[in-house]
Amino acid sequence: MSTEFKLCVRPTSYTVYPGRESMGPLSTLLNMFEYEDEYQDQLVQLGYILDEANDLLYLHKGISLDYLRRLLGNVRVEYTQPDEAKEMKFEYEEIIPPRNNEQVDVINFISGQDEHKSNLEDFQIFLVKNPGFG
């Protein structure tokens, strides 16, 4: 009998339980998230985290839900509601100025300024940048 996996759909990620067992059926996908870091001479994993203490596998939300379901086979999908956003009670103050225009654009994206005003209506925003971006 195959394991039944629980796949929880969250605003910015998926969680899979049991995490350790899911790594077998998901190995094709997880291998795409690994690369050799030429500077540190080690294997690096992006896009997923295995929480061994809770036996949960966290996956980046950019993965197709249908693809995950096909790979896992026997899966029960649950959906969670995002936490309700609370209005900020302070004005944004720039303590350390952005290093470049890309950082300015990211700050505007997250804070819903300039051409990103529509982001103010979203509960949670997810942005992927290179490690060390700041």
Domain spans of the chain? Answer: 5-79, 90-134
Contact (Cβ atoms closer than 8 angstroms) between residue 73 and residue 2: yes
Task: Show pLDDT as tens, one digit a residue, over the chain (134 residues).
Answer: 689 999 999 888 899 999 999 999 999 999 888 878 777 788 777 788 999 999 999 998 888 999 999 999 999 999 987 777 677 666 666 677 777 888 888 878 777 788 878 777 766 666 677 665 65
Name the architecture of domain 5-79.
2-Layer Sandwich (3.30)
**Cα 24 from chain centroid (whole Å):** 20
Give dist(CA 46, CA 10) in Å, integer: 18
**Cα 103 from chain centroid (whole Å):** 20
> What pLDDT is recorded for position 11?
82
- Count, residues in the chain: 134
Contact (Cβ atoms closer than 8 angstroms) between residue 72 and residue 7: yes
> What pLDDT is recorded for position 76?
95
